[in-house]
Every structure is written in C-alpha cells, then in structure tokens.
Amino acid sequence: MTQSGLSKKRMASLLKANVVRLLGGVALSAVAFTSPSHAENLFDALAAAYQSNPALLAQRAGLRATDEQVPQALSGWRPSLSATGSYGTVETDSVSSVAIPGFGGKQNFDPMTGTVALSQNLFTGGRTLYGARRAEASVEAGRENLRNVEQSTLLSAVTAYMDVVRDIAVVDLRRKNVEVLRRQLEASQDRFRVGEITRTDVAQSEARLSLSDTNLIAAEAALIASRAAYERVVGQTPGTLEPAPPLPALPQSEAQAMQLAISANPALEAARHSERAAGHAVTVAKGGLLPTVSLDASYEHSEEPSSTTARSTTTRVLGTITIPLYQSGSQYSAIREAKHLESQSRLQVADTLRQVEEAVRNAWEQLRATRSAIVSNRQQVRANEIALDGVRQEAQVGSRTTLDVLDAEQELLDSQVSLVTAERDEYVAGYGLLSAVGQLGARDLGLSVDYYDPVENYEDVKHQWVGWGTNDE
C-alpha cells in the first residue's frame, strides 16, 4: 500500500474515533442536561438517601411488623371473650310406649339460645412470660438490623457520590489529554511537511490520539454508570456536586476502632439479641410440659330450648387445671429443636464477631494504604509535570523524539488519574471504617432530617388491645 493510502486509512480511523467520541459526549451532555442544575453537597445526598431509599424504608416496615410480636406474646395475659347464638325451628314426632297424657305425637318449638363466655389464663407454664421476653429480644435485634441497613445505605450513598466526583474529574483529565494530543498531532504534521520529523513520528501521534479518544469514551461510560448508581441509591440524578467536605473524626488507632466495633457494631448487636431470643425460646418450649391453669366463666340464656321448657338460664364459673402427661413426643422434640437453634445463635455471634474484626482491620488498612497512595501520587504528579516540561524543551532542540514526549504526557495523565482515584478511595475507606465501628448512622453524622424513631411504633402497639390500623397507612 502506498504512503498516500496509509495516510487516508489513518485519517479515516481518526475521523471514526472522533465521531464516536462526539456521540458519547452528546449522550453525556444529555444526562447532565436532565440532571438538577442546583449544587449538591455530600450531606444533601446522604439526607436524600436516608429519607427515600426503598431498601431502608422496607427495613423500617419489617421492623414495625416485628414489633407486633410483643402484643401477640402479651395477649397470653389477656382474657378472651366470645359470644354465640342460635335460633331455629324444631319439629318432633314421637310415639310413647306408655299412655301418658301430653306425651307423644307431633310437637313444634322454636329454640333461641345466646351464650357469652370469658376465659382467663392464670398460669401457662411460663410460656407467656418468656414468650414476651423472646419477642422483646427479637425487636431489639430488628432495631440493630435496621441500624445496620441504615449504615449500609449511607455508605453506599457516600460511595456513589465519590464515584461521580471521581469520574467527572477523570473525564475532564482525559478530555484535556485529547485536546493536547490533537494539537500535538497538528504540530507533528506541520513539522513533517517541512521535513523536521519523519512519517513515523506523525503515525505515533495519530495512534496515541486514537488511544486517548478510546479512553475518553470509556471514562464517559463509567461516569454515566456512576450517575445511574447515584440515582439508584440517593433517589435523584446528581446535579452539580460540590467537593467532598473533610472526613469526620475517625478512630485514632486500630485498637480503638476494634473496641468501638465490639461494643457498637449493629450486626454484632443484632446477633447478640437474637441469641437472647433463642434462649427464651428454649424456656417457652419447656413450658409446654408444665400444667396450665385457667378461669372460665359463661352465661347462657335460652328461650324454648325444648318442648317441655319455656326458658332457662345457666351461669358457670369454673377453674380448670390441665396437666400434660404425654404429647406423642412432639413437645420434647420442640425443646430439642429450640436448644439447637440457641446453639446456632451462639455460634452466629462468634462468627459475626470474627467478621466485624476482619472488617475493622480491612477498613483500617485500606485507609492507611490510600493515604500513603495519595502522598505517593502527588509526588508522581509533580515529578511528571517537571519531566514533561523538560522532555518538551529537549524535543524542540532535537535531543528527544516525539515518542518520548507522548510517553511523558501519558505518564503524567496516569499519575493524575491515580491521584484522583486514591483521593476517592481514602474518603470511602474513612466512611467504611465508621460503618465498621457502628458510627455511620444519620444521628452520628448530624444529618438535617427528621430521624426515624423505631420506639414510637413499638410503644403505640405494645399495649394495644383492639384495632388493625397502622401508622404508615
């Protein structure tokens, strides 16, 4: 192929890359155009996620359902009242074997009966008492699970926010790099025309520009994906995001972080409450082997209950004791099952503790590593800026090639992208450490929102005797 043919092929390749990059830029601009125009800061995003994230709202609804276990358990202390009634027509046709006046033959009567019965448990083998304690422990576990989901949601919001900030910076860096390489290609073509450099130098500039176009398109795609993740977590498309504020106060040492996590990590606290609930469940199961005592009262009034009675009234007050002797082995199996579940819960506490310790160590080391990376990358950026300036000056006097300049520009760009990424990683690692120690709640961060109070619904339903309305209807 001739040199002219090669040139046309390269120009066609460059034109295609520029068209693709232009389309990607148009799509990115469309996303930005549909986004809110106002500036947002990190705490705005966290507040929006706290108020609207569906996973967090679903966990709150699940906790409200768990609250209902307490009044259900406490209902064992409360009386049960029932009323029954019957009305109908009865016709009898009988033949008496003895001639008694008034007996035999057809008889019709319309019986009507009404009964009101009251039953009150006096002793249930401890099942009501420990059933209520198990329900309360389950509610405590549910609250800690809610706190865990809240922290996970806020950490996801921080991550999504910093991903968008990072990707915007990377797109800006790569777009500037494309402009620099385009000007350099034009300069190389001018120098080639006057015979200062060879066709090889021009080809190297064309190839590097084409690669830069491809990297810019990839960066724009990553930004679009980050915006989508932000919208999923926060509930709105990102507008103009402000730089992240300084990190909140963090533990000063790994030992301090570990101590805080062991005492306040919500996942660990939830496991501990679940273990207590399982222990109460064993006692409830054992109560099935004990006697039960109840007081039963009823009042029955009947009109024309039989052909020989016009009206009757019956009042009963009975004390009943039930002693289980043998229940086909089912209750003993239920006790064994409850003991195994208690053992499982105990082991889950140990497993969760190990997971928390691992998470704290990983978060601490990640934070330490990213801070070291930031220092290193800043030094690399400064050194590469100096090196690029020197290589450009040396290239002007002929002591450096075009490829040397292109390599120096690429090294500077890589170090700048690495610095932006390291700064994002440090921020996410800092908030990840707060999450690991259990200090990433909305109250811990001081968000300007109406805090959800899980105790409010619990107090509303704990002693509620009637009604099926809920607070979220």
Q: What is the mean pLDDT of residues 162-182?
A: 95
Lowest mean pLDDT of 123-132, 242-251, 410-419, 460-469, name the range.
460-469
What pairs with residue 117 in β-bridges?
A: 82, 298
pLDDT at 310: 76
Greatest Cα pair distance, the chain, in angstroms, is 145
Give the angle 337-340-344 at the CA atoms, nearest 5°.
135
DSSP classification of residue 245: P
pLDDT at 269: 96
* pLDDT beyond 50 at 27: no
Cα distance between residue 438 and residue 266, in whole Å: 6
- Domains located in the chain, CATH noted: 40-78+126-289+329-462 (1.20.1600.10)
State what percent of residues in the chain have pLDDT above 90.
Answer: 71
Length of the chain (residues): 473
Token pair 């986004």 is at which residue?
Answer: 35
- DSSP 3-state of 35: coil
Q: What is the mean pLDDT of residues 115-136?
A: 93
* pLDDT beyond 50 at 203: yes
220 vs 8 pLDDT, higher one: 220
pLDDT at 110: 83
pLDDT digits (tens, 9 = 90+) for 369-402: 999 999 999 999 999 999 999 998 988 888 888 8
48 in Cβ contact with 244 (< 8 Å): no
pLDDT digits (tens, 9 = 90+) for 206-223: 999 999 999 999 999 999
Cα dihedral value 157, 238, 231, 56, nearest 10: 40
Cα distance between residue 144 and residue 67, in whole Å: 13
pLDDT at 195: 84
Q: What is the mean pLDDT of the chain?
A: 87
pLDDT at 97: 63
Give the angle 374-376-378 at the CA atoms, nearest 5°.
65
pLDDT at 113: 93
φ, ψ of residue 309 in degrees (nearest 5) = -125, 130
pTM of the predicted structure, to 2 decimals: 0.83
pLDDT at 196: 81
Q: For 417-464, give the DSSP string.
A: HHHHHHHHHHHHHHHHHHHHTT--SHHHHT-SS----HHHHHHHHHT-
pLDDT band at 346 (very low <50, low <70, confident <90, very high): very high
pLDDT band at 342 (very low <50, low <70, confident <90, very high): very high
pLDDT at 11: 44
What pairs with residue 297 in β-bridges?
A: 118, 317
